[in-house]
Amino acid sequence: MIRFSIIKAFFKKEIVQTLRDKKMFAMIFVAPIIQMTLFGFALTNEVKNISISVIYSPHDVLARTIETRLLESGWFVQGKTGNETDHSKILSERKAEAVLVMPSQGFLKEIERGDAKIQLLVDAVNPQRAVQVENYVKNIIAQTVSQEFKNTSSGLALPIDLNVRILYNPSLESSFFMIPALFGFILCIFTVMLTGISLSKEKESGTFEKLISSPVTVWEILLGKTLTYSLLGFIVALSMVAGAYLLFGITIKGGLLKFLLVCSIFIVSSCSVAIFISTLAKTQQQAMMGSLLFLFPALLLSGLIFPVENIPAYAQWIAYINPLYYLLEALRNIVLKGGDWVVIAQNCIPLALIGFALLLFGVKKFNSKL
């Protein structure tokens, strides 16, 4: 039995308590803004801003063209050079991330002679980046050479013309990828952390005794609590949708309705997580620790920081029990691509299952006795 008036009373009480606490207020409304600017503007792991130093003899026109093309490509920035003969020193002193050493006799001349040798040194501390740097350099050299030898039978002209069409995010802005995920992350923090802490706060102080001595049911207590924080989460998520539009020009392609549908299913799951945590925690501190123990891996294995598909196969199951993973998949699809129903279903069904399982377990364990 769930009585609406009791849920309403809980809701009023929680809202007053939350908004009266200045620290809490700040955490709720300032933290998301900081996170959004951080994730939107600062955090990209695309390969760009590669500092490169090109070394060539002063009269080598073709090498100069290559250098210009590199710098114009948008991926590279000019690195520093030294006057060392050992070019690897440029890398170890971190003056550049890559050094391209062109043939000393002039590139064109050596190609025509048929034995041009170019050396590329790359800082491979980040291997993925290093290989991508190598690819970019090679592509630009190949295209420059191809153009130089256009309409010749030298075999240097490329026989294939690539026509690239980029969809959904033509300017390759990583904020487009990050922000939808961030909606999910904030929603997750809200529901898990705030619900968990507020439940254990009642337990730690005596107020819980008062609740269970009165004729309210476990479901009423849990619903009263979770509804409030879910709603706060919704409000913040919606204000972030507005912020994402104003700051980054991101709109929800699939419409607000699909967005809210997925969010509400997720909220049920993450509230179940919170209830589950608070059945185990006796104090606020333990609840806090518990939520962190959930949030840290959930964040890391959600696809927010690196793609889940890269996780070694034996560990991928961890991502597949992570509610945040499904939420991010669905939200990114809805925000960027319009939200295909197949994708929504694929993600919402596991999400609902996880939520349902945890909820049953949590409510069963959430004792109405001391």
Closest separation in Å from C-beta 318 to another protein = 7
Closest separation in Å from C-beta 270 to another protein = 18
d(CA 357, CA 344): 20
33/130 with CB nearer another protein: 130
CB 10 within 8 A of CB 224: yes
* Residues in Cβ contact with 160 at an 8 Å cutoff, skipping those fewer than 6 apart: none
Q: Coil, helix or strand for 129? A: helix
Q: Coil, helix or strand for 358? A: helix
C-alpha to C-alpha distances, 342 to 82, 263, 300, 346, 349, nearest whole angstrom: 57, 17, 26, 6, 11
Closest separation in Å from C-beta 146 to another protein = 7
Classify residue 312 by its DSSP letter: -
Tokens, residue 97: 């991330």
* Residues in Cβ contact with 264 at an 8 Å cutoff, skipping those fewer than 6 apart: 230
Q: Coil, helix or strand for 301? A: coil
Closest separation in Å from C-beta 311 to another protein = 6
Tokens, residue 220: 């009423």
14/268 with CB nearer another protein: 14
120/238 with CB nearer another protein: 120
* Residues in Cβ contact with 128 at an 8 Å cutoff, skipping those fewer than 6 apart: 47
Closest separation in Å from C-beta 352 to another protein = 19
58/155 with CB nearer another protein: 155
231/357 with CB nearer another protein: 231
124/352 with CB nearer another protein: 124
Closest separation in Å from C-beta 83 to another protein = 18
